[in-house]
Chains A and B, each alone.
Chain A
Amino acid sequence: MIPSISQPASLRWTYRAYILLFYIFLIAPLAVVATFAFNDSLFPSLPWNGFTLDWFTSDTPQRLGVFSDSAMLESVGVSAFIAFWVTALSIFVATTNAFLFERYDFRFKEFLYMLMLLPLVIPGVILGISILISSNSMANYMDEVFNLEVEFLRPGLVLVILGQFAFITTIATMVIGARLRKMDRSLEEAAYNLGATKTSVLRTITLPYLRPAMIGAGIVAFLMSFENFNTTLMLTSSDSPLTITMFDRLREGSTPELNAVSLLLMIVSGVLALISVFVQKKEDS
């Protein structure tokens, strides 16, 4: 039960074996993806033909490595572009949302807070199609009434950004709002009492206090955007982001190049994850 209550050794060891199995289950898919990125074979499967870096660096039509695959690199650029805008927009709106819900009392606040949580419980595919429908009918309306073709309302980068922004903002609001709720209001009063103006209280006390949460939420937002598939699938067009490109390749039949891309993704997200954990640790101290 807990370390201070002794249990039969057999039970203890069964429990430990279970935990071990669980972690094998957790790690196995990632481990095989990483390992086969270095297999000297055209297929990401056994047998093991020896170690190679071809799937990163090679530049022949048969063996196209990640760093030479311009289509793949381009889609990384597209994903980064999308993720940048989604992060910027959602952190901005999440911060204003946090102040709105933590610092003001108004009618229907509970109800509006529930609406704020809504995007979290709407399946990504549905959020995608609903935005697709709405922007499409708006585009059709502009076309019919004003004879204007509004390009950004058709599937493409702008819609992908808006679709991801729609639900990532909720997550970011929860992170930043939780931090603001934890803040001792007397810190602001003390600063004000020591002669600071209200803007300078915001600048020197409140925002620095929120900074770890904003960085953490920013990292989460960036990764969620970079890795999003469901919403993006419904809203994307010719400029496909990385996950869509990888998905298409996967269905065509994959080469270990996909493993190489995946490994790079794992490393980047692992590093970002550690940074965000570190920031959160510092926040608590």
Chain B
Amino acid sequence: MTQNVTAKNSNNSTIIDLETRNVNKHYGDFTAVDDVSLKIEKGSFFSILGPSGCGKTTLLRMIAGFDEPDSGDILIQGSSVLGVPANKRPANMVFQHLALFPMMSVADNVAYGLKQRKVASAEINKRVKNALESVDLGDSGKKKISQLSGGQKQRIAIARCLVLEPKLLLLDEPLGALDLKLREHMKVELKQMQSRVGTTFIYITHDQSEALVMSNKVAVMNNGAFEQVGTPSDLYYHPETSFVAGFVGDANKWQAKVTQVDNVSCTTQVANGPALRGKINGTAPIAVGEKVDVFVRPEAIKIVQSGQTADQNENSLQCTVVDLLFNGANSTALLVDVASGKELHVALPQTGEFIGLQKGEALTISWSQDQTHCFSSKFLHPRADT
């Protein structure tokens, strides 16, 4: 698997803000974090993306110092922080529900960490004022926490950490509680804030769009281990595991058996269904007779105009329309493969040319073999079904 993946283009000149080496954490029989190694460059926005229960929160809490790993090492800017309690680590956390102190004013919340460090009060006032101004809440210092809006609370929770000038800012799904509109807005705001202050952000989420939009680099985590670490576009266009292919972005998936293997591609046969040709992906070798998962993204599928025929080198299917799912720019058609009865999602082109499709209409679809990804099923994690 891909457990030794590190941030790829790190060379000697870049500073590594966080490194974990073979970190493990068990709770009884349950393995929460399984041999995770990673390196995060200074100044990057790094996300850990995974379904709930995948171990990402445990990993984050170990970095913060609330849990200690069973084995392995955690280094912040090159020095191990094992045994250093949470209140002494140069890593601050934005909690899932923010954990702003309701009994204190906004300014006292921001000043809290500085007071704990026994900074002189004139200095505290100055830095709190700057911190509040930097999140556009310069005049809210005297307010109570309950008087702030959801977005303002987010900014105060971040300002409260950044005023301490931490080496790492850890964010535990802080956007989860917000409504959709505000969440979209905060994504952009967070990304801009990060590039402005330059602090390394480590962001954990189960929402792929948050991870893809904001991050320089994303680690996809499943069952306690990293499946793949890469840039958002790497993950999307070049998934290395079946899990990543299914979890990042939408995909249609078949289970099939390999009938023929070339150099980089293979032919597969879906039981009671079509034969599909696709690229061999992942690190696991694929042999004839083996079971594979075959993925294709809805937007990779073309609807063939009536009268035209599908390209011989492409995969193609005869389908009927089950339903049209109109959703503005993300509209899709729900089709069913005539031969196997399998349901497929196909993205409708923005030109609107197929918006007049009728239920029950028969049509042909096709897609390129390059956009068909085959992964060996053998190395699937038990929970990696999408």
**Touch A–B, Cβ below 8 Å:** yes
Contact of B112 among A186, A189, A194, A285 (CB under 8 A): A194
Segment at the A interface, from B93-101, B191-199, B205-213: B93-101
User: Which residue of A has the minimal Cβ distance to B94?
Assistant: A190
* Given A189-B66, A204-B112, A208-B103: A195 in contact with B97 (beta carbons within 8 A): no
Q: Is the CB of B66 within 8 A of A194?
A: no
Q: Is the CB of B117 within 8 A of A195?
A: yes
Could you tell me which residues of chain A, from 199 to 237, have a CB within 8 Å of some CB in chain B?
A: 200, 204-205, 208-209
B51 close to A (CB within 8 Å): no
What chain A residues lie within 8 Å of B97 (beta carbons)? 184, 186
Q: Is the CB of A187 within 8 A of B87?
A: no
Counting residue pairs across A and B whose Cβ atoms lie within 8 Å, the total is 58
Roughly how many angstroms separate A196 CA and B100 CA in the complex, as a whole number? 15
Roughly how many angstroms separate A169 CA and B113 CA in the complex, as a whole number? 36
A130 close to B (CB within 8 Å): no
Could you tell me which residues of chain B, from 82 to 97, have a CB within 8 Å of some CB in chain A?
A: 85-88, 92-93, 95-97
Contact of B116 among A186, A200, A285 (CB under 8 A): A200
B146 close to A (CB within 8 Å): yes
B335 close to A (CB within 8 Å): no
Q: Is the CB of A195 within 8 A of B161?
A: no
Q: Is the CB of A285 within 8 A of B146?
A: yes
Contact of B92 among A184, A193, A196, A200 (CB under 8 A): A193
The count of chain A contact residues (Cβ–Cβ below 8 Å) is 18
B64 close to A (CB within 8 Å): yes
What chain A residues lie within 8 Å of B155 (beta carbons)? none
User: Which residue of A has the minimal Cβ distance to B146?
Assistant: A285
Q: Is the CB of A193 within 8 A of B116?
A: no
What chain A residues lie within 8 Å of B92 (beta carbons)? 193-194
B106 close to A (CB within 8 Å): no
Q: Is the CB of A184 within 8 A of B112?
A: no
Q: Is the CB of A189 within 8 A of B86?
A: yes
Q: Is the CB of B99 within 8 A of A195?
A: no
Q: Is the CB of B87 within 8 A of A197?
A: yes
* Given A184-B99, A187-B99, A208-B103: A193 in contact with B93 (beta carbons within 8 A): yes
Could you tell me which residues of chain B, from 61 to 93, have a CB within 8 Å of some CB in chain A?
A: 64-66, 85-88, 92-93
Roughly how many angstroms separate A74 CA and B321 CA in the complex, as a whole number? 93
CB distance from A205 to the nearest CB of B (A): 6
B164 close to A (CB within 8 Å): yes
CB distance from A192 to the nearest CB of B (A): 5
Q: Is the CB of B93 within 8 A of A195?
A: no
What chain A residues lie within 8 Å of B112 (beta carbons)? 191, 194, 196, 204
What chain B residues lie within 8 Å of A186 (beta carbons)? 95-97, 99
Roughly how many angstroms separate A59 CA and B73 CA in the complex, as a whole number? 84
What chain B residues lie within 8 Å of A209 (beta carbons)? 102-103
User: Which residue of B has the minimal Cβ distance to A200?
Assistant: B116
What chain B residues lie within 8 Å of A200 (beta carbons)? 116
What chain B residues lie within 8 Å of A195 (beta carbons)? 87-88, 113, 116-117, 164
Roughly how many angstroms separate A194 CA and B95 CA in the complex, as a whole number? 12
| Interface mask (A49-69 → B, CB under 8 Å = 1, otherwise 0) | 000000000000000000000
CB distance from B103 to the nearest CB of A (A): 5
User: Which residue of B has the minimal Cβ distance to A191?
Assistant: B112
CB distance from A8 to the nearest CB of B (A): 44
Roughly how many angstroms separate A191 CA and B161 CA in the complex, as a whole number? 11
Could you tell me which residues of chain B, from 102 to 136, have a CB within 8 Å of some CB in chain A?
A: 102-103, 112-113, 116-117
Q: Is the CB of B88 within 8 A of A190?
A: no
Roughly how many angstroms separate A195 CA and B93 CA in the complex, as a whole number? 11
What chain A residues lie within 8 Å of B161 (beta carbons)? 194
Interface-centre pick from B64, B87, B92, B146 (highest chain A CB count, 10 A): B87
B160 close to A (CB within 8 Å): yes
Could you tell me which residues of chain A, from 130 to 188, have a CB within 8 Å of some CB in chain B?
A: 184, 186-187
What chain A residues lie within 8 Å of B164 (beta carbons)? 194-195
Roughly how many angstroms separate A183 CA and B100 CA in the complex, as a whole number? 12
What chain B residues lie within 8 Å of A192 (beta carbons)? 85-87
Q: Is the CB of B95 within 8 A of A196?
A: no
Contact of A193 among B86, B102, B117 (CB under 8 A): B86
What chain A residues lie within 8 Å of B86 (beta carbons)? 189, 192-193
CB distance from B33 to the nearest CB of A (A): 19
CB distance from B154 to the nearest CB of A (A): 14
User: Which residue of B has the minimal Cβ distance to A186?
Assistant: B99
User: Which residue of B has the minimal Cβ distance to A201?
Assistant: B87
User: Which residue of A has the minimal Cβ distance to B110?
Assistant: A194
Q: Is the CB of B96 within 8 A of A194?
A: no
Q: Is the CB of A193 within 8 A of B101?
A: no
16 further A-B contacts with Cβ under 8 Å, apart from A193-B64, A194-B160, are A184-B97, A186-B96, A186-B99, A187-B101, A189-B66, A189-B86, A190-B95, A190-B101, A191-B101, A192-B86, A193-B86, A193-B92, A195-B87, A195-B113, A197-B116, A209-B103
21 contacts between A and B (CB under 8 A): A184-B97, A186-B96, A186-B97, A187-B99, A189-B93, A189-B95, A190-B95, A192-B85, A192-B86, A193-B66, A193-B86, A193-B92, A194-B92, A195-B113, A195-B117, A196-B112, A197-B116, A204-B112, A205-B101, A208-B103, A209-B103
- Name B's A-contacting residues (CB within 8 A): 64-66, 85-88, 92-93, 95-97, 99-103, 112-113, 116-117, 146, 160-161, 164
- Name A's B-contacting residues (CB within 8 A): 184, 186-187, 189-197, 200, 204-205, 208-209, 285
Return the 10 tightest CB-CB contacts between A and B, nearest first. A194-B113, A190-B99, A186-B99, A195-B116, A186-B95, A196-B116, A208-B103, A193-B93, A192-B87, A195-B113
